[in-house]
Structure 1
């Protein structure tokens, strides 16, 4: 039981550290626009609509900051983040799911998607990326060694992405996400 408490303490410490990167003034609040970025850093990958729903839920519970405010207090973020992590609600998709999604966008089976076409996909719909996110995606997705700055070879991209995400999450959490943690933190 003590080990579970240590894991929960470590998990809270990791959440606090990530939150503090964005708490510029040091008053335990961040702007709502930063919540999705912090969640992604912590290994949860909601789309923008899901982030908006989480923010709305926090305000409905009376913990999302003052009414009409665009800030989120740490306590509310921590509670929401623990719940998402423990439920694995926004865990990253596995390699097979990602490749399947790219294959839908490549009906000819060429093995790549043109960058301009991908930008159009990412700029449309309810989960549209912001310009900065799109630029970062393209910089990461394009294989500079291939010399094809206009194409995303999705097999290579997915392998690179899943490896990067797995390493990041493993380094970030080490043993803090062990299954034994689930029962002790669900009451929070």
Structure 2
């Protein structure tokens, strides 16, 4: 297998893994349209609002041709998201662990090793690309512990891909 085909297969596998995480019912090969932005981000990228709108528009157009149920099928999701990832590859690398760690430490001046989840939520909703309430809630279930703390060394490790490409 050529390097290009191998890379495309890795992208395709990553897209399928993300899709399965948000599958409406196991084995249905459908994702609720409202979960698409989160599923795209689960591929390890954070598209801008304009890019996400473009992805959603493409999926809506394909969905209108095939099935208007409010769900996106695996084939359409895979086609649109793989094309997006491959076309945008150069700009879609995640920050590495150490970069993320430095960023989190900037919000922990006392060096406690954690950030208060409520403060983190305020930070996320007050700057940059806005997250929906649903996306924020899902993120907090992964990021925060049961006591409302985000232990950022662990969380940075989960967020980082340590140099792996899409």
Is TM > 0.5 for Structure 1 vs Structure 2? yes
Give the Cα–Cα distance (whole angstroms) in 2 for the partners of residues 49 and 130 of structure 1.
Answer: 19
Higher-Rg member (1/2): 1
* SS of the residue 1:72 aligns to: strand
Match in the other structure for 2:36: 35
Give the Cα–Cα distance (whole angstroms) in 2 for the partners of residues 18 and 157 of structure 1.
Answer: 21
Check the 8 A contact 2:96/2:161 in 1, yes or no.
no
User: Residue 132 of structure 1 is aligned with which of 120, 127, 138?
Assistant: 138
Match in the other structure for 1:66: 64
Report how many aligned residue pairs link the two structures. Answer: 155
Question: What 5-or-longer segments of structure 2 have no aligned partner?
Answer: none
Question: What 5-or-longer segments of structure 1 have no aligned partner?
Answer: 143-148, 178-188
Structure with more relative contact order (C-alpha pairs < 8 Å, separation 6 or more): 1
> How many angstroms does 1:24 deviate by?
2.3
Match in the other structure for 2:157: 160
Give the alignment's Cα RMSD to 1 decimal.
4.0
Residues 123, 11 of structure 1: alpha-carbon distance in 2 compared, 3 angstrom cutoff: closer
Do structure 1's residue 55 and structure 2's residue 56 form an aligned pair?
yes
Residues 100, 52 of structure 1: alpha-carbon distance in 2 compared, 3 angstrom cutoff: farther
* SS of the residue 2:45 aligns to: coil
Task: Provide TM-score, normalisation by structure 1.
Answer: 0.56
Task: Provide TM-score, normalisation by structure 2.
Answer: 0.61
